[in-house]
Amino acid sequence: MTEQTMRHEQAVASRAAERYLLDEMSELERHRFEAHYFSCPECAEDIRVGVALQEAASEPLTPGQSKPNAWPRPLRLVSLAAAAALVMTVGYQSLFVIPELQSMARPQALAPVVLRPVSRGADTPITLPAGASFLSMSLDVNLDPLPSELQYDLATDQGIVVASGRVAAPAPGTPLLLLVPSKALSAGRYALTLRPADGSAGTLAYRFVASTE
Amino acid sequence: LPSSSTRFEFDATYVEQLTAGDPEVERHFTEYFSALLVAKLRSRLRSPTLVEDAKQETFLRVLTTLRMKGGLSSPGGLGAFVNSVCNNVLFELYRSESKLSLTLDEEGAPEPEAIEASVESRLLSSEDRARVRQALEGLPAKDRTLIQWLFFEERDKDQICTELGVDREYLRVLVHRAKGRVKQALAAR
């Protein structure tokens, strides 16, 4: 599994702040760097200074010049591909890294399967879409109080862990979007658990049975 | 509290005061995260108005959640929490735009709002702005031109490189150096 957050040494060595400000990052890398700089005082300072640079330079340094565009280029258009990529990285940030995402340049429609925590009853049936690179799932997270971070584990019914890790909890009332690489799943029963990462009480279990098209 | 433009680490007291609605801490919090959120939102939203709305919505949700939950279990996770809430705000914006069947493809995209960033949405005070601009004016002529072309004229970066005979790495180094000047100018307040 790929890391969800860039490490500080990686950010410094790869001139991440400069490439971010110059809009040279893929959506996935941008997302990883954002996950880092929001928590890293040093990189946060770098970005704040960079934004100040952009703002000060958004007017002509030589008086009398007129601005050809009203807003920095990246703002003018948001392609559907970029929107889809963001949607995917929100899900990615929530749970999984999808290496294939980096090469995904065309628009993708998301129709997540909604999963709710189970107390009893039948497992939710899920059909693994043929040819799709991932399966999207929307998880209701009804923990109260809602922790800031969640630990997730996805395992087969034989107890084989397919994926696990930590993720920031979604805002209250909003679902956690989960993107699972199709390659990670095959037909069979699965259990996904979410619990507070700080070890406090409360575990949510989502069960589903996957079948192929 | 130190200036919101300087390096800062969040501790339990800070989060407690923010949760309790301390006006000074709340002001520091919004000033500290404004630039970070603007940097994140600018590349993904089409207008200054949307950026400002998404930023304000993020702040509102973060503060509401903190007060509802009575704080954060891990104060050091405040930045990650703000980023996560902003991701959700963006996700909902895209979803609502998709429901409205807005054309987002580059060929048929609607024209952007023909407005400049309002004075209110500026992150720098007029004094800081003047200081930073003065610092940038001290760059060598070629570098000043590059900065102008990058952030004022928003020219294509490959064309900039060809025209001035530099490579992409030079642009990164230049931005790094320019940031150093901006940092010095802001620290000299």
Judge whether A58 is closer than 8 Å to chain B, CB to CB: yes
Closest Cα in chain B to A144: B69
Q: How many CA atoms lie within 13 A of B21 on its CB side?
A: 4
pLDDT reported for residue A99: 36
| pLDDT < 70: residue spans in chain A | 1-4, 61-111, 119-121, 131-134, 161, 164-166, 181-183
Helices (H), B72-156: 78-99, 126-137, 141-147
Interface of A with B in 114-143 (CB under 8 A): none
Facing A148 at nearest CB: one of B61, B72, B128: B72
Facing B85 at nearest CB: one of A35, A48, A171: A171
Looking at beta carbons, which residues of chain B come within 8 Å of A172? 65, 68
Residue B87: DSSP 8-state = H
| pLDDT < 50: residue spans in chain B | 100-120
Q: B37: distance to nearest CA of chain A, Å? A: 9
Interface predicted TM-score (ipTM) of this complex, two decimals = 0.83
Distance of CA A16 to the CA centre of its chain: 18
**pLDDT tens per residue across span B71-80:** 788 888 899 9
Tally of CB atoms within 10 A around B2? 9
Q: Assign 3-state DSSP to chain A and report helix, strand, coil percentages, each to 5.
A: 30, 25, 45
pLDDT reported for residue B23: 93
**pLDDT tens per residue across span B83-124:** 999 999 988 887 776 554 434 444 444 444 433 444 445 677
Which residues make Cβ contacts (< 8 Å) with residue A120, sequence separation at least 6?
A: none
Place of tokens 């000074």: B24
**Residues above pLDDT 70, as percent of chain A:** 66
Are A70 and B106 in contact (CB < 8 Å)?
no
**pLDDT tens per residue across span A168-212:** 788 777 788 777 766 677 888 888 888 888 877 788 888 888 887
* Measured CA distances, B47 to A20, A84, A89, B71, B135 (Å): 19, 18, 22, 33, 28
Judge whether A68 is closer than 8 Å to chain B, CB to CB: yes
Judge whether A51 is closer than 8 Å to chain B, CB to CB: yes
Cα Rg of chain B, angstroms: 19
pTM (predicted TM-score): 0.60
Helices (H), A38-157: 41-56, 73-76, 80-94
Q: In what order do the strands lie in the sheet with A204-212?
A: A124-128, A204-212, A188-196, A149-156, A161-168
Burial class (CB in 10 A: 0-12, 13-18, 19+), B11: exposed
Looking at beta carbons, which residues of chain A come within 8 Å of B32? 44, 48
CB A92 within 8 A of CB A178: no
